[in-house]
Amino acid sequence: MCDSLDDDTWDAPFMEAFEEDTETFPFGTLSKTASHVTTLPSTTDAAVSLSNTTHSTIFVDLGCGVGRVTNRARDTTGCTAVGVDMCPNEIAQAQELANGNGAIYLVDDVFNAEAVIAALPDFTAADWDRVVIFIFLIPTLVNSTKFQALLGALLDKGAKLVSYCYHPDKWTPHERDERMNVNLYRRSL
């Protein structure tokens, strides 16, 4: 799914899901095309709106692909926008499409999200309340125990989560945009 992935140096979790998961969804077959399936601007706007993303938000797209969501969030709100993807090619393209808008792109594994966010310039523990996590990832990943534990830990720190299309099983959204299929999650106060 990612041409430049070096099998010798990168051992991302759930790679087998991409190899074996050949189910065809309304927007494409995820096994080979997942990197190239992107979220529409209108859906991104719904996610931005539902999560109240503003210029003071740290918006993190876990599995950002070519940065359609990250760049739009940055361009429309002025937020600190961070895109993380394990595919160097996708990140390179995202940076190109950013056209110098200031979005931050990192080649990394989504499972390193907590460390990646904590390592952002000037980030302190108080900033977790400003973090919005966006995900549009395959169900195998979204519903894995390990990934849900990661998301739960981020919510416990104060981050909000917006998911598009595939949502964490058995989690009750705080709010939902039914038309756009976007859910918002946060820890109850």
For ligand SAM, the binding residues in 3-32 under the rule CB under 6 A are: 12-13
Show the binding pattern over residues 105-124: x = contacts ligand SAM (CB under 6 A), - = does not.
----xx--------------
Which ranges of the chain does DSSP label H, i.e. alpha helix?
Answer: 15-20, 30-33, 41-50, 68-77, 88-98, 113-118, 139-142, 145-157
Is the C-alpha dihedral spanning 101, 104, 107, 113 positive or negative? negative
C-alpha distances in angstroms, 5 versus 102, 107, 108, 178? Answer: 26, 11, 12, 36
SS (H, E, C) 48-66: HHHCCCCCCCEEEEECCCC
Show the binding pattern over residues 66-85: x = contacts ligand SAM (CB under 6 A), - = does not.
--xx---------------x
Shortest separation between residue 166's beta carbon and ligand SAM, angstroms: 9
Q: Is 168 a binder of ligand SAM (CB under 6 A)?
A: no
Please give the residue whose beta carbon sits closest to ligand SAM in the complex: 63
Compare residues 173 and 187 and give the one whose CB is closer to ligand SAM. Answer: 173
Binding site for ligand SAM (CB under 6 A): 2, 12-13, 34-35, 37-39, 61, 63-65, 68-69, 85-87, 90, 109-110, 136-137, 141
